Amino acid sequence: MTTGVAIIGSGIFAKEQHLPAVKEAPTLALKAIYSRSLKSAQDLAEGLENVDLYSDDSGPEKAYADLLKREDIGAVILALPILVQPAYIKQALAAGKHVLSEKPIAKDLATAQDLLSWYNNGANVDKSKTLWGVAENYRFIRKWLQTAAEVQKLGSVKTFRLVLRANIGTEGKYYNTSWRKTPEYQGGFVLDAGIHFLAALRLILGRGSNSLKTVIAQTSQLQEHLPPIDTVDALATTASGAPGVINISFGSEFRDSLLEITSEKGVVTLIGDQLTVGGVVTDIPFEGVGVKEEVKAFGASIVGGALEDRLRPEEAFADLEILEKLVTSGEDGGRKTLELQ
């Protein structure tokens, strides 16, 4: 069974990740591309055959709403600016199309809750026939999955430390989009990119007593071009009371990625792509950023009639909860309790 799919949005991520992933997905067939401008849609469609283009400036019967009327398109994959994406999600779901929307689920918890409540209301969507998944590709990357598998063999977490430091320069391709340069949403790059690492941390800690329960944070803006904040330094505790440290910065002069976890039965360290468990070092080969696996899972979910757990919007909602509580703690200095983990 093959499902016709449309790519909604024609930015960098759609070109470099979504398009190749759809091409390789055995249960998906690309039928159309929508972008706000026809030129952007044409750029993404270069070299493709039998793919129809839709845009806001394409004239009659070529708008997003027209694409959603097509019976040969059963699903859409959305990668749009954070602030506008929820409206497109609702339109597609209301039209009976399966949706895979890029992370974050929304700009804040209130908007995300509205989306989830709307989706869960049977008057709006028949969930048994129309799937909505949120794309968080870090849940499909081998190094995070392998680390999670090792940590979950070792019992209760005693301490942990997550460090991600990078410097997003003004020359960067992702920086040079207008909605990222002047973000109208909390956290700036800390939301847009940092949420990946919070999702990875949640995957590795798992549920139950090892899941996060509280955070208290300081936030700062180290680089003038990265408003409103580019750095979070936080203390956290798990449900069992184990302490942890979270340091995420996109304005740092350092560039590193580190996860350390001490558990009752051993120690796990992930530095870059090098995993160490009980002193044994494994170099995990880089196999991509997980989007191909994620899109393949979305296609398989449609065929099977049930959403892959890692794509559940509730997972993305829980990712966002940590991010928002870190940001608000940085604003008021308070310790925040997490309820969705």
Do 327 and 198 lie in one domain? The reply is yes
pLDDT bucket at 177, cuts 50 / 70 / 90: confident
| pLDDT (0 to 100) of residue 181 | 75
92, 76 contact by CB (below 8 A): yes
Domain count of the fold of the chain: 2
C-alpha count within 13 angstroms, C-beta hemisphere, residue 64: 23
Do 300 and 205 lie in one domain? The reply is no
* C-alpha–C-alpha distance, residues 296 and 170, integer Å: 34
Do 242 and 305 lie in one domain? The reply is no
* C-alpha–C-alpha distance, residues 229 and 139, integer Å: 25
pLDDT at 172 over 80: no
Three-state secondary structure call for residue 18:
helix
Domain presence at residue 67: yes
Q: What percent of the chain has pLDDT over 70?
A: 99
Q: Which pLDDT tens digit goes with each residue over 244-278?
A: 999 999 999 999 999 999 999 999 999 999 999 99
Domain presence at residue 55: yes
8, 78 contact by CB (below 8 A): yes
Q: What percent of the chain has pLDDT over 90?
A: 93
Do 101 and 169 lie in one domain? The reply is no
Do 155 and 78 lie in one domain? The reply is no
| pLDDT (0 to 100) of residue 234 | 99
Do 55 and 143 lie in one domain? The reply is no
Region 231-237: mean pLDDT is 99
Domain presence at residue 275: yes
Q: Which pLDDT tens digit goes with each residue over 270-328?
A: 999 999 999 999 999 999 999 999 999 999 999 999 999 999 999 999 999 999 999 99
| pLDDT (0 to 100) of residue 128 | 92
Do 48 and 156 lie in one domain? The reply is no
Domain presence at residue 268: yes
Domain presence at residue 94: yes
Do 25 and 61 lie in one domain? The reply is yes
Cα–chain center distance at 299 = 17
Domain presence at residue 315: no
Do 194 and 303 lie in one domain? The reply is no
Do 49 and 117 lie in one domain? The reply is yes
pLDDT bucket at 153, cuts 50 / 70 / 90: very high
Do 189 and 329 lie in one domain? The reply is yes
- Return the CATH number at 279: 3.30.360.10
What does the H/E/C string look like for 175-221? CCCHHHHCCCCCCCHHHHCHHHHHHHHHHHHCCHHHCEEEEEEEEEC
Amino acid occupying residue 200: A
| pLDDT (0 to 100) of residue 253 | 95
Taking alpha carbons only, the member of 335, 338, 330 closest to residue 186 is 330
Q: What is the mean pLDDT of the chain?
A: 96
Do 157 and 205 lie in one domain? The reply is yes
pLDDT at 14 over 80: yes
* C-alpha–C-alpha distance, residues 168 and 135, integer Å: 23
- Return the CATH number at 106: 3.40.50.720
Count of residues in the chain? 341
Domain presence at residue 281: yes
Domain presence at residue 270: yes
Query: Domain range spanning residue 249?
Result: 139-288+320-337
